[in-house]
Structure 1
Amino acid sequence: MELSFTGRVIEWRGPSPYYFVAVPDEETADIREVAAMATYGWGVIPVEARIGATVFTTSLFPKAGSYLLPLKNAVRKPEGLAEGDDVGVEITVRL
């Protein structure tokens, strides 16, 4: 399953600061349709993602009925992304 969306970069200020892009409601609904086939535990969904020229593998985290796409510094810094930026994202859910 391939999806494209635009989301805002948010910072989670837990014990270890991390950045995410929230998956919009429409795409979340699409992911829920295949979640049982894709998850490998705890509701996380493995994906390949592209932001700008950077392609990376990660897993979507379930959060409050939606999903968050984690942004490692190895992705965020080369693409010049900071908290509050809107970013175009392409993901492929790995089934």
Structure 2
Amino acid sequence: MSLTNKLVELMNERGINRSELAKGAGIPYTTIVALFEKGSENTKLSTLKKLTTYFGVSLDTLAGEPEEMNRTDPAHREKEEWTEEEIEEIKLFKEFLKQKRKKQE
């Protein structure tokens, strides 16, 4: 399955469009459009990392061949399991932990 097909699958699971993906993942909308229209051959690693973080999947899963999506982020295992507000709180907590880790380094 191609990267764009996997992205479409993940977006459908979340019920989001390209604009919402761009906003949620922190990627310029024009980058998302180019990814879908021009292909993913020259996609920057930083863009791929943002997508994997947003969807809670590994880079291997997103860009590789495995058909099964191995979710690494518990907030994304079951769409119905978390409300949008809870997901936002989880994202904020993740950012808090990242900042805390940076301060300790």
Work out whether the TM-score is over 0.5. no
Q: Which has the higher contact order (CA 8 A, sep 6+)?
A: 1
TM-score of the superposed pair, with normalisation by structure 1? 0.29
Bigger helix share:
2
Select the structure of larger CA radius of gyration: 2
